[in-house]
């Protein structure tokens, strides 16, 4: 059997030892790294060869008797000076080289010497000088560590690395073969497809086999998660796919996927569970055993000796579950934690290591989409062929904007200037003072344009150059300080520094997809504004992520209109789309429009009584559980007060601002098969999507809003940019996002083919044709005046 491995992957597996050391030290940016490599190469002679592609083979014994194993090792060495007979591995760095952890140095030597052997073998060399060239980004100086090695020595080194990796490679190879064989024969576990689930599954499979992107709108209740996971798993072997990433916006979405995967494997039949490794990725603060500690061996016992104990922890985590445990190998939080603690290593970083060896990763969107995303980075570095499933994909527009937006609030600079370092290091103080002066000067150019002296201004010329220069210089100074003194943890300064770097990075990437704005609250002095590089269209950032995947399916109940999502999410022009018909009949849901009520801002006070009366009449006609949605907490309170006053006998309860998880649970627990009453909630909040109240637990909803985002200076800027880019400013900014929320919230009512219910759309604008076009096709919308109630 042949197993192909990159030099870096091989050496990371075999040569990393000692502590996990993520001590805060500024690292070169990707651009600085590229420039550093180019600077080194430019200093070499004419015959210097850059970026040599090298590959070689190792033959040894596999784990079974008479089973040979063939490792194919490949990679790209940084440079070769044939005249000097020297192979160079270049590493750029900031700060003090003598502080570099020993584990990093050992890894660098291991890589350089593997390249050394591959070169000796390719060019028939007897001897070679192998050099590590450390290039200091700040001083542009090189520190060279060189060793002359014979080809025999290099070969022995190569042999040692491969031998250490061989058992693991053989195990991985066997796992992959078993996995693919099992997935090829995987049967749908839910006793037949539900209505609509089969066409969805077929579309996902077709997209996977064609290597395309699919935008799949499918109604609630058909089992979208299982309907997308199953065909995608079936497609892995045929498409030679290495990994499947299931990306969700919410924890609930991740849990549904984990449950579906567990069911999919079914009970252990004939001697074993489905050989599929499913890894749940959780945030650091949820997995950390020593909150508040820094991640290095001097501070955290689970970082000390991490790489020494990693092999045993990894082996335990990946050991196949023993029958009668059914299902795939679920590397969920509890399982990974148990393996990590059994071997005294950090659970969070163990789970990141396991991402290299798992088949299916279930995690939040940001693991693949944000600028420095772990899964995207691993996929690129290892050349994985991946499939993506994006759950509740309508959320990706807003989430994408958040990932590519950077803002610097004045409080961060204030705290940084008060920090111990700023008080004791003159260079840092001077740099921060200069930023402050540029910030104040910028603020003084912005006249108040809102009530009580508040201001909002877009910087039409891009990021203001004086502040940009001050931030660049200041972050350079602070970065140098941290590089020189990594032992000096200074939280406030570090936070400011990281936020400033993010802002500078987004300013560097500034284009029509984003704008620069300054917001000053009422009463703030100059320097009290927040400066923001605000992303509006995440498409240019997301498009390369789709391109890097073999196939991707984005699914949700609300992806209409398709062109809006394709434009904002940067889907490839040849993407496929499917709109799965609803399994529900129009008779199951009465949809009534209350045209006699306006919920426009100016009419809200007058509308509270009529809305309360409409709800009471509906309740009298059919007592049961209802949800009522409003555009804001204020509006909710107004109607709730009118409802309580006019209909005091009717039970109702309200969502409040910043509800904790337990309070949210209590809110939902009031919806039982036997209960009756109305829950008041805000549209776009915790109860407007992702909750499941089937049967009598919910029989109706009142929508006292079109969900239109508030008209404010930021949204008006977004509208202008949408008009400029897509010729659809109002629709792309207000109408489509608003109606999407309405349809999501109304979708809580009918969850099963047995459910029956009512939705009241309360506003005259719901009767307009352009609004009704955005409602689900299977709804029969009743506009008759007799429905006034
Ligand atoms: S346990 Fe916490 S502090 Fe320790 S290495 Fe892990 S994440 Fe860092």
Of the residues 18, 288, 351, which should be mutated to test ligand 1's pocket, given the most ligand atoms within 8 Å of the CB?
Answer: 288
Say which range, 493-497, 577-581, 752-756, has the weakest mean pLDDT. Answer: 752-756
Is 345 near ligand 1, meaning CB less than 6 Å away?
no
The predicted pLDDT at position 323 comes to: 44
Is 373 near ligand 1, meaning CB less than 6 Å away?
no
Q: How far is Cα 545 from Cα 539, in angstroms, rounded to an integer? A: 10
- CA nearest ligand 1 atom 6, residue: 346
Is 295 near ligand 1, meaning CB less than 6 Å away?
yes
CB distance 569 to 554 below 8 Å: yes
CB distance 286 to 260 below 8 Å: no
Q: Give the ligand 1 atom nearest the CA of 296.
A: 5
* Torsions phi, psi for 485 (to 5 deg): -130, 65
- CA nearest ligand 1 atom 8, residue: 295
For the chain, give the mean pLDDT.
91
Q: Give the ligand 1 atom nearest the CA of 347.
A: 6
Q: How far is Cα 160 from Cα 164, in angstroms, rounded to an integer? A: 6
Which two structure tokens, joined as six digits, stand for 743?
A: 């349809």
Residue 294 reports pLDDT greater than 80: yes
Residue 783 reports pLDDT greater than 90: no
H helix or E strand, kind and range, residue 28:
none
Strands 360-364 and 277-280 come out as: parallel
CB distance 228 to 216 below 8 Å: yes
Q: How many CB atoms lie within 10 A of CB 401?
A: 19
Q: Give the ligand 1 atom nearest the CA of 295.
A: 8
Q: Could you tell me which of 298, 299, 281 has the C-alpha nearest to residue 353?
A: 281
DSSP 435-472: HHHHHHHHHHT----SGGG-EEEE-TTSS-HHHHHHHH
Is 300 near ligand 1, meaning CB less than 6 Å away?
yes
Q: What is the CA(102)–ligand 1 centre distance, in A?
A: 20
Distances (CA, A) of 617 to 358, 622, 638, 760: 55, 9, 19, 12
When pLDDT is cut at 50, 70 and 90, the band that residue 321 belongs to is low
Which two structure tokens, joined as six digits, stand for 236?
A: 């892995």
Which residues are within 8 A (CB) of 752 and not within 5 positions of it... i.e. 6 or more apart?
Answer: 221, 694, 695
pLDDT digits (tens, 9 = 90+) for 23-79: 766 677 777 888 999 999 999 988 899 999 999 999 987 655 567 888 999 999 999
Is 40 near ligand 1, meaning CB less than 6 Å away?
no
pLDDT digits (tens, 9 = 90+) for 155-209: 999 999 999 898 888 888 889 999 999 999 998 877 788 888 999 999 999 999 9
Helix (H, G, I), strand (E, B) or coil at 623: coil
As a 3-state breakdown, the chain gives helix, strand, coil percent values, each rounded to 5, of 45, 20, 35
Is 619 near ligand 1, meaning CB less than 6 Å away?
no
Is 13 near ligand 1, meaning CB less than 6 Å away?
no
- CA nearest ligand 1 atom 5, residue: 295
pTM of the predicted structure, to 2 decimals: 0.90
Which two structure tokens, joined as six digits, stand for 402?
A: 């958040």
DSSP bridge pairs for 2: 70
When pLDDT is cut at 50, 70 and 90, the band that residue 490 belongs to is confident
When pLDDT is cut at 50, 70 and 90, the band that residue 329 belongs to is low
H helix or E strand, kind and range, residue 33:
helix 30-43
Q: What is the CA(285)–ligand 1 centre distance, in A?
A: 9
Q: What is the CA(289)–ligand 1 centre distance, in A?
A: 6
Which two structure tokens, joined as six digits, stand for 449?
A: 């344009």
When pLDDT is cut at 50, 70 and 90, the band that residue 268 belongs to is very low
Is 69 near ligand 1, meaning CB less than 6 Å away?
no
DSSP 561-584: SHHHHHHHHT--TT-EEEEPPPSS
Is 728 near ligand 1, meaning CB less than 6 Å away?
no
- CA nearest ligand 1 atom 2, residue: 288
Of the residues 289, 297, 299, which should be mutated to test ligand 1's pocket, given the most ligand atoms within 8 Å of the CB?
Answer: 289
DSSP 312-379: HHHHHHHSPPPTT--SSEEE-HHHHHHHHHHTT--HHHHHHHHTTT-SEEEEETHHHHSTT-HHHHHH
Residue 325 reports pLDDT greater than 70: no
Q: Give the ligand 1 atom nearest the CA of 303.
A: 5
- CA-CA-CA-CA dihedral for 291, 293, 299, 302, to nearest 10: 30
Q: How many CB atoms lie within 10 A of CB 292?
A: 7
Is 346 near ligand 1, meaning CB less than 6 Å away?
yes
């Amino acid at each position: 059997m042949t197993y192909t491995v990159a030099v870096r992957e091989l050496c990371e597996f075999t040569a990393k030892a000692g502590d996990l050391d993520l001590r805060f030290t500024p690292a070169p940016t990707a651009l600085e790294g590229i420039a550093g490599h180019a600077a080194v190469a430019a200093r070499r002679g004419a015959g210097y060869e850059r970026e040599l592609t090298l590959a070689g083979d190792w033959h040894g014994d596999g784990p079974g008797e008479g089973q040979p194993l063939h490792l194919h090792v490949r990679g790209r060495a940084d440079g070769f000076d044939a005249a000097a007979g020297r192979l160079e591995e270049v590493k750029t760095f900031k700060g003090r080289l003598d502080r570099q952890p020993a584990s990093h140095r050992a890894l660098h030597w291991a890589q350089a010497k593997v390249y050394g052997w591959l070169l000796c073998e390719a060019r028939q060399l007897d001897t070679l000088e192998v050099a590590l060239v450390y290039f200091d980004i700040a001083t542009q100086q090189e520190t060279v560590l060189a060793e002359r090695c014979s080809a025999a020595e290099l070969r022995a080194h190569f042999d040692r690395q491969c031998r250490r990796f061989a058992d693991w490679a053989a195990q991985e190879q066997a796992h992959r073969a078993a996995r693919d064989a099992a997935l090829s024969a995987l049967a749908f576990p839910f006793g037949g497809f539900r209505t609509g689930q089969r066409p969805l599954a077929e579309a996902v499979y077709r997209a996977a086999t064609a290597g395309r992107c699919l935008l799949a709108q499918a109604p609630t209740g058909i089992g979208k998660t299982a309907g997308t996971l199953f065909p995608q798993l079936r497609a892995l072997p045929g498409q030679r796919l290495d990994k499947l990433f299931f990306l969700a916006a919410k924890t609930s979405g991740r849990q549904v996927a984990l449950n579906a995967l567990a069911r999919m494997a079914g009970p252990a039949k004939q001697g074993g569970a489905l050989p599929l490794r499913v890894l749940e990725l959780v945030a650091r603060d949820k997995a950390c055993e020593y909150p508040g500690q820094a991640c290095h061996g001097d501070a955290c016992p689970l970082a000390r000796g991490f790489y020494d104990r990693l092999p045993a922890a990894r082996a335990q985590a990946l050991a196949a579950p023993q029958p009668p445990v059914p299902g795939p190998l679920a590397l969920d939080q509890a399982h990974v934690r148990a393996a990590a603690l059994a071997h005294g290593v950090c659970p969070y970083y163990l789970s990141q290591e396991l991402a290299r060896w798992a088949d299916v990763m279930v995690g939040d969107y940001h693991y693949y989409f944000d600028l420095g995303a772990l899964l995207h980075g691993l996929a690129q570095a290892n050349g994985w062929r991946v499939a993506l499933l994006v759950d509740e994909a309508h959320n990706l527009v807003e989430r994408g904007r958040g990932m590519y937006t950077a803002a610097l609030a004045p409080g961060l600079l204030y705290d940084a200037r008060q920090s111990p370092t700023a008080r004791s290091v003159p260079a840092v103080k001077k740099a921060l003072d200069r930023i402050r002066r540029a910030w104040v000067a910028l603020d003084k150019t912005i006249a108040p344009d809102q009530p009580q002296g508040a201001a909002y201004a877009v910087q039409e010329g891009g990021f203001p150059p004086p502040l940009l220069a001050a931030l660049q210089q200041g972050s350079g100074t602070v970065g140098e300080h941290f590089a020189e003194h990594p032992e000096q943890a200074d939280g406030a300064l570090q936070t400011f520094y990281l936020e400033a770097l993010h802002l500078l990075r987004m300013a560097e990437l500034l284009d029509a997809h984003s704008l620069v704005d300054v917001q000053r609250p009422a009463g703030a002095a100059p320097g009290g504004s927040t400066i923001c590089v605000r992303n509006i269209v995440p498409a240019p950032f997301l498009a390369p992520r789709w391109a890097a995947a073999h196939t991707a399916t984005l699914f949700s109940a609300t992806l209409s209109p398709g062109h809006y999502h394709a434009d904002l999410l940067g889907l490839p022009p040849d993407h496929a789309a499917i709109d799965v018909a609803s399994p529900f009949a129009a008779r199951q849901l009465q949809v009534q429009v209350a045209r006699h009520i306006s919920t426009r801002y100016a009419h809200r006070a007058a509308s509270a009584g009529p809305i309360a009366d409409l709800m009471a009449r509906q309740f009298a006609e059919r007592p049961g559980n209802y949800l009522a949605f409003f555009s804001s907490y204020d509006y909710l309170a107004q109607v709730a007060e009118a409802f309580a006053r006019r209909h005091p006998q009717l039970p109702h309860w309200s969502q409040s601002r910043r509800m904790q998880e337990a309070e949210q649970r209590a809110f939902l627990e009031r919806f039982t098969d036997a209960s009756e009453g109305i829950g008041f909630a805000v549209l776009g909040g915790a109860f407007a999507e992702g909750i499941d109240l089937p049967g009598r637990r919910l029989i109706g909803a009142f929508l006292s809003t079109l969900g239109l985002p508030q008209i404010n200076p930021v949204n008006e800027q977004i509208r202008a940019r949408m008009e400029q880019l897509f010729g659809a400013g109002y629709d792309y900014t207000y109408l489509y996002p608003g109606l999407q929320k309405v349809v999501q919230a109304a979708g809580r009512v009918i969850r099963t083919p047995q459910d029956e219910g009512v939705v009241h759309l309360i506003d005259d604008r719901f009767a307009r044709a352009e609004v009704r076009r955005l409602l689900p096709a299977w709804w029969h919308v009743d506009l008759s005046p007799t429905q006034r109630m």
